[in-house]
Amino acid sequence: MQNPEITLQQGVRLMSIDLLRGIVIMLMALDHTRDFFAPATFDPLDWENGSAAWFWTRWITHLCAPIFVSLAGMAAFLRAQRFTRLDMSKYLFTRGFMLVVLEFTWVSFCWQFGFDFALLQVIWAIGVSMMVLSMLIWLPQRALIVIAILLIVPHNLLDAWHEKNPGWWMKLWHQGGSVMIGDHFRIIFAYPLMPWIGLMTAGYAMGPVMRWEPARRARFLVGSALLLFIIFIVLRSGNFYGDPDAWAHQGKTWLVDLMSFVKVHKYPPSVLYLCITLSIGLAALMFLERYVHRPWSVLLLFGRHPLAFYMTHLFVIHGLAWVYMQIRYGAQINFHQGMVSQEYVPSLFVAYLAWGMVLLVMVGLLRIWQHVQPHRRPPL
C-alpha cells in the first residue's frame, strides 16, 4: 500500500516542476514572438545598436532551454519510478525519436512556412538526449553523474578546435552550423548535442533529490543554486574559463558593465551560460515548491502540456505575424531574404502586445486540448 504522505509530496513536487516549466514556456513564447513581430538587423544582445530593453528581453529568455532540458531529465526519473527499466528505456527512445521527427518536419515548417531548411533547436536536442538517456539509465547513478560532468564541464575546451569550415560531425556535436544536403536543402545545427545530452543526463541523475523530504530538498536546491552562481561569478570575473567571449569594463554605466558581464554564449551553450541560467532555475524551483501554494492555473496549463504548446505556438505566432505584417506594411519583413519595408521599425512594444495576444490564444487552444483528452494524464 502506498504511503499517503509520499503521494502528497510527489504531487507537490510535480506541481513545482509544472509551474517552473509553465514560466519558461511563457518566456520562450516571448522570444519567438519577438522573432516574428519585431525582427531586427541588430543582435538584441548588442546594447550599442539596441538598448537595455532589447538586451534584457532577449537575455531573460536564455533561461528557457537549460531549465526545460534539465526539468525533462528530472521528470524522466520521476516517471521511471512507475515503470520497469526496460519499459522506461523503450519510452525514452520512442518519444525522443518522435521529437526528432517533429523537429525535422512540423517545427521546421512552422519557422519558415516551407521546407527550405531544417532548423534543429531545443526539440531536436531533447529528442536526441532522450534517445541517449534510454541507454544511460541502465548505468548506476554515479556513472550518470560522471558522464554529465564530462559532457558539460570540459566542453569549452573544444572551442580552440572551432574552424571556419568544420566537418558535419563537429557542427552536430559541438560547434553548431549548417550542412548542405544536395544543392538546395540545409540542415542547421543550432543546438549541438554535447552539452545538451550532458544536461539531460544531469537532470535525470538529480531526480532522486525530488524524492527527499521537503526541508532537505530545499537546502540542496538553494545550496546548488548558490554554488553555481558563485562559480559563475568567480570564473567570469577574471575571464578564467567557461565562455569563449570575454567581458570587459565598458567605461560607461554600471548597467552596461552588468550586461557585458552576463552576456554569455548560448550557441553552443557555454559552461558559464549553464551556470547562471541553472542557478536561477534551481532557486526558482525551490521558491515555487516552498512558497507557492495557490498557483496560477495558466502556468499549470502550460507546464502540463509542454509538447502541445510547443507544437502549436510557432504556427500561431508565425500566422498572426504574417497577417499583421501584411496589414501594417503590405509585405512580410525578412532581412535574410531582403524583404524590408521603408516604413518598418522594430518595436518591442508591438512584440509585448503580440506576446499577450499569443498567450491568450494558447490558453484557449490548450483548454480545448484538455477537453478533447480529459482522461489522459500528461506525460512527464
For the entire predicted model, the pTM comes to 0.92
The beta strands (E) that lie in the chain are given as 117-120, 177-181, 185-189
Q: Is the peptide bond before 214 cis (omega within 30 degrees of 0)?
A: no
How far apart CA 296 and CA 290 sit, in angstroms, is 15
Q: Which three cell numbers stand for residue 301?
A: 496549463
Let me know if residue 164 belongs to a domain: yes
How many distinct structural domains can be found in the chain? Answer: 1
pLDDT exceeds 60 at position 338: no
Q: What is the pLDDT of residues 248-305, one digit of tens each?
A: 999 999 999 999 999 999 999 999 999 999 999 999 999 998 888 777 889 999 999 9
Look at residue 296 in the predicted model and tell me its pLDDT.
Answer: 82
Span between the terminal Cα atoms of the chain, in Å: 23
List the domain range (segments joined by +) for residue 241: 4-372
Give the Å distances, CA to CA, from 111 to 124, 224, 269: 14, 36, 22
Question: Which alpha helices (H) appear in 60-211, and where do they start and end?
Answer: 64-80, 85-102, 108-112, 122-136, 141-152, 168-170, 193-205
pLDDT of residue 375: 54
Asked, for residue 183, whether it belongs to a domain, the answer is yes
Asked, for residue 379, whether it belongs to a domain, the answer is no
Angle at which helices 271-291 and 4-37 pack, to 10 degrees?
130
Within a domain: residue 377?
no
Q: Tell me, what's the pLDDT at 343?
A: 85
In a domain, 199, yes or no: yes
* Residue 194 in domain: yes
Q: Classify residue 378: in a domain, yes or no.
A: no
